[in-house]
Amino acid sequence: MPKKLKWRTLMIGGLFTLFFVGLVVRLYWVQVVQASWLLEQAQVRWEADKTIQPARGDIVDRKDKVLAEDAPAYTVAISPRLIVQNKIENDVVLGLSAILKSSEDGSDIPLIQEHLRELVAKKKEDGTPRDQVEVRPDGWKIDKEQADQVKALTAELQARLKKKSPSSVGISLIEEKKRYYPGGTLAAHVLGYSDKEGKAIMGIEAQMDDILKGVPGRINYEKAASGIELPDAKVTIEPAVDGKNVRLTIDKSIQFYIENAMAKVAEKFQPKSMAVVAADPRTMEILGMASYPTFNPNRYWSVGKPDAFMNRTIAAQFEPGSTFKLVTLAGAVEEGLFRPNDQYQSGSIRVSDRTLHDHNEIGWGRISYLDGLKRSSNVAFVKLGLEALGTDKLKAYIQNFGFGAKTNVDIAGELKGSIPMKYASEFATATYGQGLTVTALQQAAAYAAIANGGKLMKPYVVKDIVDAKTGQVEMSTKPEVVRQVVSEATAKQVTEYLEQVVSDQQIGTGRKAYIDGYRIAGKTGTANFVGEKGGYAVGRWNISFVGYAPVENPQILIAIIVEDPDLKGDYHAGSEVGPPLFRDIMAQSLQYLGIPPTVNVNNKSAKPPFTLKEVTLSVPDLVGMSVADAKAAAGKYGLKLETLGNGDKIVKQFPLPGAQITGSQLVEVALQEADLTLPNLVGRSLREAVEVCSFAGVSCTAVGEGYVVGQETAENGVVSLQLRAPDDASAAAETLAADNAAKNSASKNSASKDNSSKDSSTKDSSAKQSPPPAKKDTSASR
């Protein structure tokens, strides 16, 4: 063998030998040394691990009407490749921007168009158009209405391009879920909201997030390199635990009455803000809680001013004014120091280096303390609180009623107010609600204590935690007594005094809160407004009213604060804000709750407070009867029917079976479920008219007070009721008879203006410190 060939053979053999030695070493390294690590890595590649998202629990009202729930949502995606290929870039940009705008006037369309043009021009690394990009944030989790518009745009482009499928156009929708609030702004500050990323923000959504969100699950399985699950693969599933439902104490209907009434006040008086709380005084369950300005949690991103997110019922502090006189009055009655018929000199009183005045400054001469309460005399309460009770007892009663401390309601963000009393003049002004700050909820709780026999209750909003699948209640909140602030006898006596503030139609500052047929207790307040730069603003006030009904068995309490309404510089106009707002909400709520009237309004000789006439007629069950049979059954009870709609049998009625009513009250019966025609309401009181409107499912507004003399239906279906306030029941009957004879041609006469005194304190500090005491009281305290 030639020497050259021999060396070549040896070299090749050596290389093959080295190759096989290296291969053996590598196999040993892989199969022995790295075996466990490689197996672990392979397992990761083979297995798919997916998170199973739980369903978020619903938030419902006390009657299980949904206030917040998960709902389908859609994210818009576009294909730059197909859009460029179809040469429809401009069509897509213009069409989608018009659909995805968030402002009503379309002011944001140019920005959306600019963003869409950037997305349409998106390219891959190799310079070719992208296959798909999501339109965020404008097209992210849009609702069904907008999604339908996107589908319509896609269908239009598909037809024009003559494409076989919508997907070939370049616009698609990705199905997702988002939080949906069916009522829009309804109870927005109580509910809060969840953003598009699923994060709970404020309100019950945030407070109860751990309960609502549930626990995510997991699914694990083996897969091929393509991602397809392998046959006979091992699958491990940890199911998700869905969130619980949260049932609130809120009543959706009462909440609607509140917000609807507030909207009317906002339109008429353009206030800076409002806060309203409605509660059951027996338990302090919150039946309604609303703030203005408000927001729509479905479109939380479109809110212009951050203060729209503030729950002003618990997070705004203000000087209460004369509504705070409740504390001084209750303390004086409890200590046996309030003698209603004793007299004092009204007008002004000297305390240390300050002269404190009644709102009219000159007073009303020598008057009784009861008249001082009705007229909301500051001097009367200085004498009762400072001179009679003394500073120590006064402060003790203020603290016992819960002021200066949080109520500990189950909603985050509550402030405690401030009671910084040191000098005699500060104690003096505190007797009528000046120089200290409170929240609307504290006011509501204090009045509820009087309505509830002297028991201060802890307010709450969360009623039950409910299993979403079984409906089983897993946790309930029970009414909690904080303490007994005054005796039951004192509470009853104070209620009777507060009733006269409303029922005395001559001097009672709360007379415009009066509702025919019901005994109502309440107190008004008018306080100077604090300007933006501090100090009291001239000609600007805050209006408040707190009251409850019916006096003999209080079932609903309403506290109202209206900050800086446009009163045209006349504080007397405050009587057209607070008391009527209270009356509007209360009248509808009493009717809705099925609480019958107990006052005989037809007694001409009766002077407020009216004498009681006990109800003796019980409403029979008429549902399912024919009209003839129902009239016969009602006749046996001495009742009259009014039928609404067309049909063979009665499908619903009001009042409900078993309700106790007066013989003069009609029983409304419907022959069909919906689309009821509203009957002629001329001749009825406001309460009766509202009852019929509510039963027929028709929204109504009232102008004036007293009895209906005309009604008009607007294009939006809302019925406007014109009312007239006669001097007595006899005059009312004559007026109404004339109106009926003239076929409802009565003119829209407004209720006569009443320029008598109103009550107030000074400002609404809204969490600002009170100004230092002046040498002379110059505020317009009423």
Same domain membership, residue 677 and residue 552: no
pLDDT classification of 552: cutoffs 50, 70, 90:
very high
Same domain membership, residue 663 and residue 537: no
Same domain membership, residue 534 and residue 442: yes
What is the dihedral angle through the alpha carbons of 379, 381, 386, 391, rounded to the nearest 10 degrees?
Answer: -150
pLDDT at 250 (0 to 100): 97
Residue-range definition of the domain harbouring residue 133: 52-223+241-247
pLDDT tens by residue, 223-232 = 554 445 445 5
In a domain, 574, yes or no: yes
| 3-state class percentages of the chain: helix first, strand second, coil last, to nearest 5 | 35, 25, 40
Q: Minimal CA–CA distance to 691: which of 743, 746, 654, 740? A: 654
pLDDT at 96 (0 to 100): 93
**Count of beta carbons in the 10 Å neighbourhood of residue 698:** 15
Can you tell me the distance from the alpha carbon of 56 to that of 212, in angstroms, rounded to the nearest whole number? 5
In a domain, 601, yes or no: no
Share of the chain above pLDDT 90, in %: 47
Same domain membership, residue 631 and residue 586: no
Share of the chain above pLDDT 70, in %: 80
**CATH classification of the domain holding 408:** 3.40.710.10
In a domain, 29, yes or no: no
Q: Where are the beta strands (DSSP E) in 564-649?
A: 617-618, 641-644
pLDDT classification of 664: cutoffs 50, 70, 90:
low
Same domain membership, residue 358 and residue 494: yes
In a domain, 57, yes or no: yes
Mean pLDDT of the chain: 82
Which residues partner with 348 through β-bridges? 357
Would you say 100 and 146 are in contact if contact means Cβ atoms under 8 Å apart? yes
Can you tell me the distance from the alpha carbon of 32 to that of 458, in angstroms, rounded to the nearest whole number? 70
Per DSSP bridges, beta strands 273-280 and 285-292 are antiparallel
Same domain membership, residue 487 and residue 454: yes
Q: Which residue of the set 79, 194, 273, 322 is catalytic?
A: 322
Same domain membership, residue 181 and residue 75: yes
Q: Is the pLDDT of residue 113 over 80?
A: yes
Same domain membership, residue 580 and residue 496: yes
pLDDT at 395 (0 to 100): 96
Would you say 592 and 694 are in contact if contact means Cβ atoms under 8 Å apart? yes
pLDDT classification of 301: cutoffs 50, 70, 90:
confident
Q: Is the bond leading into 137 cis (omega within 30 degrees of zero)? A: yes
pLDDT tens by residue, 374-384 = 999 999 999 99
Q: Is the pLDDT of residue 731 over 70?
A: no
pLDDT at 620 (0 to 100): 83
The stretches of 557-715 forming alpha helices (DSSP H) are 578-592, 627-636, 686-696
Lowest-pLDDT choice from 210-219, 246-255, 683-692: 683-692
**CATH classification of the domain holding 90:** 3.90.1310.10
Same domain membership, residue 723 and residue 666: yes
If you average pLDDT over residues 553-573, what whole number do you get? Answer: 83
Q: Is the pLDDT of residue 164 over 60?
A: yes
In a domain, 776, yes or no: no
Quote the tokens at residue 411.
């909603």
Tell me the CA distances in angstroms from 444 to 22, 441, 448, 483, 677, one per residue in order.
87, 5, 6, 16, 38
If you average pLDDT over residues 115-122, what whole number do you get? Answer: 91
pLDDT at 746 (0 to 100): 37
pLDDT at 663 (0 to 100): 58
Can you tell me the distance from the alpha carbon of 132 to that of 80, in angstroms, rounded to the nearest whole number? 7
In a domain, 612, yes or no: no
Can you tell me the distance from the alpha carbon of 98 to that of 77, in angstroms, rounded to the nearest whole number? 16
Same domain membership, residue 659 and residue 551: no
pLDDT at 344 (0 to 100): 95
In a domain, 85, yes or no: yes
How many CA atoms within 13 Å lie on the side-chain side of 509?
Answer: 33
Number of domains in the chain: 3
Tell me the CA distances in angstroms from 612 to 242, 551, 728, 732, 752, one per residue in order.
54, 11, 17, 20, 27
In a domain, 773, yes or no: no
Same domain membership, residue 508 and residue 381: yes
pLDDT classification of 40: cutoffs 50, 70, 90:
low
Does an H or E element contain 264, and which? helix 252-269
Would you say 662 and 597 are in contact if contact means Cβ atoms under 8 Å apart? yes
Same domain membership, residue 164 and residue 79: yes
Lowest-pLDDT choice from 275-279, 434-438, 458-462: 434-438
pLDDT at 730 (0 to 100): 36
Which of 576, 592, 608 is where one domain is finished? 592
pLDDT at 636 (0 to 100): 66
pLDDT tens by residue, 235-244 = 677 888 889 9
Is-catalytic flag, 699? no
pLDDT at 274 (0 to 100): 94
